[in-house]
Structure 1
Amino acid sequence: MEQELMRIGVSLPENLLTKFDTIIEQRGYSSRSEGIRDSIRNYITHYEWMSDVKGRRVGTITLIYDHTKRGLSSALTEIQHDYSHIIKSSVHIHLDHDNCLEVIILDGEGEEVKEVAERTMALKGVNYVKLNTALPAEKS
């Protein structure tokens, strides 16, 4: 059964659209729409995977952000203080004058690990966030 297609409008910065168009051309998509559909499917799959992070997890959150955005560094610090009971360490690297890379290492309840990543993702000026989790190895 074929589904009805819905038309939407999306506003994007020119540099983001240019990068996206380059990728869809390299990957051989027949249209920008097909690339967007594939991207949305991947986003949904990732969201569903993140929604299932339960039980004890160890993991990392990798983020790249623009430290010149007013209030962003303070907001990131506040999040990390709110979850200091599961954050074991972090590494901070200056990529250039404006951008920083941070890797946060966590060990705790999966729901809280996910909350840290989602709160971080929601901040304006955060350009990249990737959560990776694993079940800790059981002792034998």
Structure 2
Amino acid sequence: MSVVRFGVSLEKELLDQLDDLVTKNRFSNRSQAIRQLIADHGALSKWECNNLVVGSITLVYNHHKRELLTLLNEVQHAFHEEVLAAQHFHLGNDHCLEIIAVKGKAVRLTELADRLIALKGIQHGKLTMSRIT
């Protein structure tokens, strides 16, 4: 893959935001940050177009919540074609982190994540998508 150089004009406030992004994400330079932003936009476009994507659903919950583990399992089984694997972490006596690897059409993965995140007892949930190149 060849690299093409080009100039970009930005307002000072946008340049400051770009530099903050570089610093916070420990990118080696602005070009790396811009590449990541373009890749993220491409993933979002594929997500909106309902293309095949991969991702993860991250959930934090109190495992003492009655019936929650059963419901989490039931929802994942209902989406067995999309769920690749799940990993469970104990965060202490009460809280757990679950990361679910997923692959499928963006709309279907969004539906799965929405159903999981909406379960009573889920304290935080997030769906992250990436395009398949």
Instruction: Give the shorter-chain TM-score range.
Output: 0.5 to 0.7
RMSD: 1.5
Q: Distance in 1 between matches of 2:94 and 2:51?
A: 37
Give me the TM-score of the superposition, normalised by structure 1: 0.59
Inter-partner Cα distance in structure 2 for 1:98 and 1:126: 12
What residue is the counterpart of 2:74 in the other structure? 78
Which segments of 5 or more consecutive residues in structure 2 lack a partner in the other structure?
1-43
1:104 maps to 2:100: yes
1:67-86 C-alpha deviation (Å, 9 max, x unpaired) = 11111110000011011111
Aligned to 1:117: 113
How far off its partner does 1:52 sit?
A: 2.8
**Taking structure 2 as the reference length, what is the TM-score of the superposition?**
0.62
* Residue 88 (structure 2) pairs with residue 92 (structure 1): yes
Residue 123 of structure 1 deviates from its aligned partner by: 0.9
Give distance in 1, aligned partners of 2:102 and 2:128: 10
- CA displacement 1:32-63 (0-9 Å, x = unmatched): xxxxxxxxxxxxxxxxx7x8361111000011
Runs of 4+ in 1 over 2 A off after TM superposition: none
Match of 1:68 in 2: 64
Q: Deviations over 1:97-120 (max 9, x none)?
A: 111100000111111100111001
One-letter amino acid of the counterpart of residue 78, structure 1: E
- 1:52 corresponds to: 48
CA gap 1:128/1:53 in 2 versus in 1, 3 angstroms: farther
Change (3 A) 1:53 1:83: farther
Residue segments in structure 1 that go unaligned for 5+ positions in a row: 1-48
Question: In the alignment, residue 77 of structure 1 is paired with which amino acid?
Answer: N
